[in-house]
Chains A and B, each alone.
Chain A
Amino acid sequence: MNQVGSLAPVKRISEKVSVQTPEQIQFEFELAGVSARMMAYLLDLLIRAGVISVVSTILVMTTSWASEGLSAGLVLILAFVVEWGYNTLLEWRFNGVTPGKKALGIRVVRTDGVSIDFVRSAMRNFLRAADIFPFFYAAGVLTMFFTGTQRRLGDLAADTMVIREKRSPLRDLPPLPLNPVEIPAGALMQLGIRDRDLMIIDEFFRRRHLFSEDRADEIAAVLGDPVAKKLGIEGGGSELVLAGMLLAGNEVRSSWYGRSTATSIPGASGGAR
């Protein structure tokens, strides 16, 4: 919370991997961390235990009249299939997702971002036997730290990685106060206001309703007052200055964009019929 007032760039601890599409467009995947993967694993473990206990109860009820040995044998085979098949088959069938991974919002993909096939799924999941060595995935977690791309031995052998599924909704401008201070678009560039600063202002207005009037003033003053002073703006609260900056920032982008459309990119509009 103390961070809100400062303009120090807030860096989240997450690693990103860049991937290029055949269209030569780069985009980023965010890697899933150890903790998310561990939670997903534990969840899957619970589900596996649930499946085994339910199905084996059914097996015992339907086959034990023949012989107890038969049902015990079937239960052992079931345990084998679930232990080795659960991840392999689900990740293959459902595009890199198991129920546990789904719940944690993570997914297995090839390192080039394409979905995995059976061989990769089998490779990364059979190698769990090595990752699990000598206890509770110690080898796997160690390699995850050293690879830098959070991959365990199975991932390295299968050339896969686990990514965070990101949903990033498209947002309109946040609700702004009435009568924002008029700020010329060019002034922002002179002051060296960057996109990241504007993002923080954007975030501030999105959370504006969480603060009391006094607190909001206090926060807004950190950036608003120096800017107002430099531009020689008298009166008008610091919030109104911030709102003006946000609007001006949008204008800057738009005008850059407008200038580029004059020499418009043929491919970009050609695709849109």
Chain B
Amino acid sequence: MIKQDFMEQRRVRWERLEQVLRRLETGRSGKIAQHELDEFVHLYRIACSDLARARSQDLGDDVESYLNAIVARGHKQFRPRTSPDRRRFFEFFTHDFPRAVRAQKWYVLAATLLFVVPIVITAWAVVNDPDIAYSLSDPAQLEMLTDAYAEGHQGGRSEGEDSLMTGFYVHNNVGIAFRCFATGAFFGLGSIFFLVLNGVMGGAVGAYICVAGYSQSFLSFVIGHGAFELTAIVLSGATGIKLGMILVNPGPYSRVDALKMKSRQMINVVLGAAAMLLVAALLEGFWSPSGAAPMIKFIVGGVLWVLVISYLMLAGRVGESR
């Protein structure tokens, strides 16, 4: 039987391929020797041609599905070579991230407006009629926050409380940023909703506290980490809107292709925003509530704003393709 001959002849190679595959699938890539990789490629090619042969000459479903399975397993072993090293990590912050932000500057502008305009409007409304704040936010929470700022931060906080709050900010704020981005998949609507919602809440609460007479305590607290936190929320919202817009209007490409082309850029912005939120969490946990004089906090905060914005606008400009 010639089918049997063919199987006998090839079987050794197929089984060897399975062996090599098992090593590739379980072992760490660093530990696989070069000659094994060469052998894998060689055996994989043979299996590919055997599969084509089994199909065209109708050697039966059993042989075909067996070969299909090992070819599929082999195919998965091919992967783009992207081993992140320390240099790449550094370059991400000096080049990739700020460039990716600038590549979507119009979305960033739109997101900024969607965030800032609600802040201004609600703040203006609350200044005129503080009761509005009660309908926008939980009254009990408003009182609690007002009391907290009334106390001020002159005494500083215990270190333990600082660490607790830092952990909370990381868990909470970075999660919000990711959600703000991801819900952009609903044609950008989720991101827009989160940006406006955060703007309205922030504007209402902030204005209420200021009207109550604690503007110095509140603003000096917010300004430092705000440079990182507010920008990062706007950036992830902008990326979410971009994601949605690509779905709405993919241009001359299919939606999947349009997304594919932009996905690295979008992920870079989201990861960068997450890194900024980590910085913000540390600042908000340890610096903002510290006992430093409000004047110093305003100066430091102002410098941070200038630094963050000029970083996003200027870093990695040299050699940037446009």
Contacts and interface: CB of A to CB of B under 8 A. Distances in A.
Contact of B171 (A69, A77, A156, A196): A77
Interface in A46-104: 66-70, 72-77, 79-80, 83-84, 95-96
A107 B76 contact: yes
A55 to B, nearest CB: 14
A72 B79 contact: no
A76 B161 CA distance: 13
Interface of A is mostly: helix
Interface stretch (A163-171, A207-215, A216-224): A163-171
Interface residues of B, number: 79
Contacts of A171: 62, 66
A209 B257 CA distance: 53
A119 B263 contact: yes
Contacts of B75: 19, 21, 27, 113-114
B175 interface: yes
Given A95-B79, A117-B80, A167-B69, A258 B2 contact: yes
Contact of B60 (A195, A255, A265): A195
A253 B59 contact: yes
Interface string A165-188: 111111100000000000000000
Contact of A272 (B46, B65, B259): B46
Nearest to A118: B82
B162 interface: yes
B2 A261 contact: yes
Interface in B1-43: 1-4, 6-7, 10-11, 13-14, 25, 42
Interface string A97-125: 00000000001010001111111101100
Interface in B32-82: 42, 45-46, 48-53, 56-63, 65-66, 68-69, 71-73, 75-80, 82
Contact of A114 (B4, B61, B66, B80): B80
B71 A21 contact: yes
A145 interface: no
B256 interface: yes
A255 B4 CA distance: 11
Contact of B3 (A115, A126, A169, A250): A250
Nearest to B271: A122
B263 A130 contact: no
B270 interface: yes
Q: How large is the interface on A (under 10, 10 to 19, 20 to 34, 35 or more residues)?
A: 35 or more
B1 A23 contact: no
B159 A67 contact: yes
Interface stretch (B122-130, B145-153, B179-187, B300-308): B179-187
Question: Which of A29, A73, A76, A198 has the most chain B CB within a 10 Å cutoff?
Answer: A73
Nearest to B60: A253
B79 A114 contact: yes
B76 A115 contact: yes
B249 interface: no
Contacts of A42: none
B79 A117 contact: yes
A84 B79 contact: no
Contact of A169 (B13, B66, B159, B271): B66
A159 B259 contact: yes
A63 to B, nearest CB: 9
A126 B4 CA distance: 50
B68 A129 contact: no
Pairs of residues from A and B, 4 with the lowest C-beta to C-beta distance, nearest first: A69-B160, A73-B167, A67-B160, A76-B167
27 contacts: A25-B48, A68-B160, A69-B164, A73-B165, A79-B171, A95-B79, A116-B79, A117-B79, A119-B263, A119-B267, A122-B267, A128-B182, A129-B183, A130-B183, A157-B185, A166-B72, A168-B66, A170-B62, A202-B62, A250-B60, A254-B4, A260-B56, A261-B2, A265-B53, A268-B52, A272-B10, A272-B46
Given A171-B62, A250-B4, 7 more contacts: A21-B48, A115-B76, A129-B178, A159-B256, A165-B73, A170-B11, A196-B61
